[in-house]
Chain A
Amino acid sequence: MNRFAELLDRLAYEPGRNNKLRLITGYFREVGDPDRGYALAALTGALSFKHAKPALIRDLIASRTDPVLFGLSYDYVGDLSETVALMWPRRVPRHDESFPGHPSPPPSPARGEGAQLRVQRQTRSTTDRDSASDGGTTLSVPSPLAGEGQGEGYRGRDADESTHSRNHNNPPPPTLTEVVTTLRTLGKTELPKQLERWLDELDETGRWALLKLVTGALRIGISARLAKTAAAALGDKDPHEVELIWPGLSPPYLDLFAWLEGRGEKPVNRDPAPFRPVMLAHAIEDTDFQNLDPADYVAEWKWDGIRVQAVAGRDEHDKITARLYSRTGEDITGSFPDLVPSLRLPGAIDGELLILREGRVQSFNVLQQRLNRKIVSPKLIKEFPIHLRAYDLLGDDANDLRELPFVERRERLEMFVKKLDDPRIDLSPTVPFESWDALTAARADPASAGAGEDADAVEGVMLKRRDAPYLPGRPKGQWWKWKRDPHIIDAVLMYAQRGHGKRSSFYSDYTFGVWTAGESGDELVPVGKAYFGFTDEELLQIDRFVRRNTTEKFGPVRHVVHEADKGLVLEVAFEGLQRSPRHKSGVAMRFPRISRLRWDKPPREADRLETLEKMLKGETAEVEA
């Protein structure tokens, strides 16, 4: 458990993806079965046990510490698991503990002349007040001081915690396997005692990781995909291969690791509803069109939802199993239980997950309310009815269709959807066009080109070669995406903040604002934050500008000069706007990025808030605060 905790601890601070991978792969290499398998399960969210409630953790700490000290500590740290992990006092036997053998500090060359004056009294008891008040005698205890006998059971402070526990014949700290397997079978009433025992046995990082694990709140910025990629790297395999066999695997993944280490056969995915690697599109550039013949392509709307693969298959008892996968192969079925009953026919649909209300596609802002929810309540399901808009069929019953040309798959898809005859699943319509000019016009005005009232949820068009088979990855020349042009505004740089990792020496996070009427004339109000879109060269230029034009500093944040005639205008591109009571300006941008630096433009000529408010009219959704 401590080694796993160490990994989590390190991952929590590491910003770089590649370095995270190395840390995880390093762990898999170093740690044996079955611990590493349970670690992989923890990182991919594949562990299932009943999570402990925060109230239970509070009760545990309350039974051992002073409530005032806990309150002050919690205020300071701000995270329950971490506070408890840090301040958890060991239960030290109060009377039978003799003075533990503290090592004397190493001889120091700097030991002052006063050293010879000191009286060494090694056996001094810290609770023995009488001897301490015997006037001016200078005493010296070997440092560090002993900490026993303080009535709260703080451990005798000392070097290594693990040697400390060994000294007292304490059981060794639990392994990750022990924790996971115990939690699986443990009754609710036994949980507090068990947790308490583990907290006593683990070190600080171990306690932190344990509490994160049992409360189900790891949150260390590792996706399941990343963990699987790290596992694949152990055996120099393509992460895709791991993804394909993943649904057939279960913790502690002994067969997977055996294969990765060349000790066993590749595990077979016997899942009745396996994921198939998805086909992706290239962004089309203006210059690409001259080499493309419109007759070779079919166009569809590009929906502003979530790409999913909805798979249904028959298991060995001939029962239908249905699963929903993200484009990276993560099983997200649990988040959308309301779609499962609609997946009645065996097959694999490639499509877009959307929210439909009264037949109308809602904007991405609305869909977002359903994402990353831990609990899918009936209310959520009712208010945000899920819908699948299908655009490809990869499998029909037991038949693999991926070798067929797109137009044939499309025909099969149309039949499949018709046969399903389900209100939650429909076809993504094609967009007829004869020339690139006609398609340009359709893309510019989806509402009049067939998208009708759903036009707001269209973020461009997709072009698919009629003869393209379904190929994994991003094959050249087969599928193209042609996104709607982003919205653009000119905003003024107001604050800059240092970036992380490689960018930690750069001011690379920018808050920008637009003009609005204030109490004493026009003033800038912040409307968003962006930290990409610029080139490396531009980053250097902005960084230099920030450093030379800082008016105030607040920790890592710098106020950058932003007056009518002094300041830097940034051209900001973004995909959409939504109302947001959380922001002073009342609007929030989606996917904002710096598209150009307008050194030529004085700040007074930057855009006004009213411009954004006008854009809002098209956006219907409001974000709940």
Chain B
Amino acid sequence: MRPQDILLPVASGLCCKPGGFHIDPVRPVERAVITHGHSDHARAGHGAVLATQETLDMMRLRYGENFAGTTQAIRYGEEIRLGDVSVKFHPAGHVLGSAQVAVTAKDISIVASGDYKDAPDPTCTPFELVPCDVFITEATFGLPVFRHGDAANEVKKLLASVALFPERAHLVGAYSLGKAQRVIALLRQAGYDAPIYLHGAMEKITQYYQSRGIALGELRPVMGVKKAALAGTITLAPPSATSDLWTRRFPDPITAFASGWMRVRARARQRGIELPLVISDHADWDGLTATITATGAGEIWVTHGQEDALAHWCQSKGLRAKPLDLVGYGDEGESETPLQDEAEA
């Protein structure tokens, strides 16, 4: 059996014929295995969905009770049989509930890692290295210019700015699933104990994180708070909101954006960001290359992002590598509907 007999990229996503399912399908399919709750990976309308409890809960929060025909929760480390293959979930360290999916048939094991990061994150289970024969990796930050450093330093930068401009409000653009909660947790780790304000679009998902036992301190909805009272405060909002009408309720706001893209100045300036915070929920270049090496996989399939550079690197290290040309993931375009904000980085 060849790897492509087990998993094959098709228009609707990664298809596992012998197992009879798709991983993170972009179109409705009969049986879907979902790696994590971001909207470009977890879509509504599938017949049956297999995912972690957290991912299923997030899909329910977002799409309503009837987001799929049937659902099945699977735990990290749990292995189940689907058709002729076995499927095992491992933590991906990307957001709460995010998983890598190991698909094994006979003697070949393929790990579809979804989105992952190998950096510490107080809001989710750390990335687990899964040795395999074929490793499917994302390449969102698959260029050597993306090296993300320690997120704690970025939060320090934010707090220094709050101290320097106490009469202004700080608006932090952050994707509402995962990034926002991570930024809040990092602020708390840095000793910031004032109330943190939230844009309405991220209240529900943040409450969900809290319900899963993640301590985020005192959070308040920003709605209805007087302008003057927001001086010196920090508010988290979906990135698109930080440059729109909504910001007029804040006193002379400073716009920050917590994203791996902020590593590149032009990207930050394009969006009119005044305080870029390089905090990413994806592995950076060093993380991608270190992980690829560590899996021991001899063949690497590269999906969404900078496939060419990462595939080139793999080849230069003597690994077989190919871009998968899957479409529909990681679209990062400016959007004004909060939902698409999770096409995140």
Contacts and interface: CB of A to CB of B under 8 A. Distances in A.
Given A69-B313, A73-B143, A505-B247, A82 B274 contact: no
Contact of A109 (B164, B214, B263): B214
B265 A79 contact: yes
B113 interface: no
Contacts of B144: 65, 69-70, 73, 86-87, 89
A86 B264 contact: yes
B266 A114 contact: no
Interface string A192-225: 0000000000011000000000000000000000
Given A26-B164, A147-B290, A111 B77 contact: no
Interface string B274-316: 1110000000101101110111101000000010110011001
Given A26-B164, A110-B214, A114-B77, A160 B150 contact: yes
A178 to B, nearest CB: 23
Interface in A4-48: 10, 12-15, 19, 22-23, 26
A138 B264 contact: no
A145 B272 contact: no
Contact of A112 (B76, B146, B313): B76
Contacts of B212: 109-110
B57 interface: no
Contacts of B244: 505
B344 interface: no
B274 A14 contact: yes
A555 B333 contact: yes
B294 A124 contact: yes
Contacts of B109: 136
B245 A13 contact: no
Q: How large is the interface on A (under 10, 10 to 19, 20 to 34, 35 or more residues)?
A: 35 or more
Contacts of B313: 66, 69
Contacts of B119: 143-144
B118 interface: yes
A261 to B, nearest CB: 20
B201 interface: no
Contact of A86 (B126, B263, B271, B273): B263
A142 B127 CA distance: 8
Contacts of A19: 165
A141 B76 CA distance: 16
A169 interface: no
B304 to A, nearest CB: 15
B129 A157 contact: no
B182 to A, nearest CB: 11
Interface string B183-215: 000000100000000000000000000001111
B86 to A, nearest CB: 9
A516 to B, nearest CB: 31
B265 A82 contact: yes
Contacts of A78: 266
Contacts of B234: none
A501 interface: yes
B248 A140 contact: no
Nearest to A86: B145
A55 interface: no
A132 interface: yes
Contact of B308 (A23, A72, A117, A556): A72
A484 interface: no
A108 B126 contact: yes
Contacts of A77: 145, 264, 266
A127 B317 CA distance: 11
Interface in B67-106: 75-78, 89-91, 93, 96, 104
18 contacts: A66-B313, A73-B145, A86-B147, A86-B264, A87-B143, A103-B120, A110-B96, A110-B213, A111-B125, A117-B76, A124-B294, A126-B290, A131-B296, A132-B131, A133-B298, A136-B104, A498-B272, A505-B247
Given A108-B123, A136-B131, 7 more contacts: A76-B143, A79-B266, A86-B144, A110-B123, A131-B296, A501-B274, A505-B247
9 interchain residue pairs of minimum CB distance: A132-B296, A114-B76, A114-B77, A105-B120, A86-B145, A117-B77, A112-B76, A87-B144, A109-B213
Interface of B: 52, 54, 75-78, 89-91, 93, 96, 104, 109, 118-131, 133, 143-147, 149-150, 152-153, 164-165, 189, 212-215, 243-248, 252, 255, 263-266, 268-276, 284, 286-287, 289-291, 293-296, 298, 306, 308-309, 312-313, 316-317, 333-334
Interface of A: 10, 12-15, 19, 22-23, 26, 65-66, 68-70, 72-73, 76-79, 82-83, 86-87, 89, 103, 105-106, 108-118, 124, 126-127, 129, 131-147, 149-151, 154-155, 157, 159-161, 203-204, 498, 500-502, 504-505, 553, 555-556
